[in-house]
Amino acid sequence: EEYWINRALEMEEKRSKVTAQYIETFREQYGKAIQNIHKDIAKFYARFADQNNVSFKEARRILNSMELEEFHWTVEEYLKTARENVFSNHWTKELENASMKVRVSRLEGMLVDVQHEVEMLAAFQMDAFTELLTRIYTDTYYESAFTIFKGVGVGYSFSAIDSRRINKALERPWASDAANFSTRIWSNKDKLVDTLNKTLTQMIIQGKAPDETIAKVAK
C-alpha cells in the first residue's frame, strides 16, 4: 500500500511541476499582450488626442485616405498571422471584412488592434493547453503502466497510446456548464474582447486620460 501511495504522489508532483511551468509561460504571454495593447492605446491618443484627451466625436471620425490605407496594411498583416495560426474562423472572417471596408472610424481601428492581441493570446492558449494536456495524458499512461509492472513484479505487453483516445479525452466536457477546454478558452476570449471594447469606448466617452485607460484595461 505504501508503494502505491508514494508512486501516486510522485506522479502528481511531477504533473504539478510541468503545469507550473506552463502557468508561468501564460503569465508572460498575458504580460506581452498588455504591453502591446498599451502601445495601441498610446498610439491612438498620440495621434488623435487634444491636450491628453480624445473626445468621443473625434474617436468616431472616419479615417482619411492615408489613414485608411495604413489600416488596411495592418489588417493584411493580422490576416496573415491569423491564417498561419490556430485563430478562430470568426476572427479571420472579421479581418477579411475589415480589409474591404472603405469607411472606418478611428475608434474602430484601435479596437481591431486590441482584439487582435486578445485573439493571438487565445490561439497561444489553445496550442499550449493542448500540448500540456496531451503531455500529461501520455506521460501518466506510460508511467502508470510502469508502476504496475514494478509493483506486481510482472511485465506484460500493452498497446501504445492512441492519439484518437487523447483527442477524445480533450474534447470531453469537464465542467458543470458542459464546456470542454477548447470551448472554455474561446468563450473566455469573447468575454474579454467584449469587456475591453466596452471599457475603451466608455472611457473615451468619459474623457479619461490614456494612463487611466491603460490601467483599467490592464486590470
pTM of the model: 0.84
In whole angstroms, what is the distance from residue 205 CA to residue 157 CA? 68
Give the helix, strand, coil percentages of the chain, each rounded to 5: 80, 0, 20
Position 155 scores a pLDDT of 67
Position 210 scores a pLDDT of 83
- How does pLDDT run along the chain (219 residues), one tens digit per residue? 888 888 889 889 999 999 999 999 999 999 999 999 999 998 898 888 877 778 888 899 999 999 999 999 999 999 999 888 877 788 999 999 999 999 999 999 999 999 999 999 999 999 999 999 999 988 888 888 888 777 777 766 777 888 888 899 889 998 788 889 888 898 999 999 999 999 999 988 988 888 888 888 888
In whole angstroms, what is the distance from residue 101 CA to residue 198 CA? 22
Q: Residues 110-139: pLDDT tens digits?
A: 999 999 999 999 999 999 999 999 999 888
Contact 174, 180 (CB under 8 A): yes
Question: For residue 189, what are the CA distances in angstroms to 123, 197, 198, 207?
Answer: 10, 12, 14, 27
- Phi and psi at residue 103, in whole multiples of 5°? -130, 110
Q: Who contacts 146 (Cβ-Cβ below 8 Å, separation ≥6)?
A: none
Position 116 scores a pLDDT of 95
Position 163 scores a pLDDT of 86
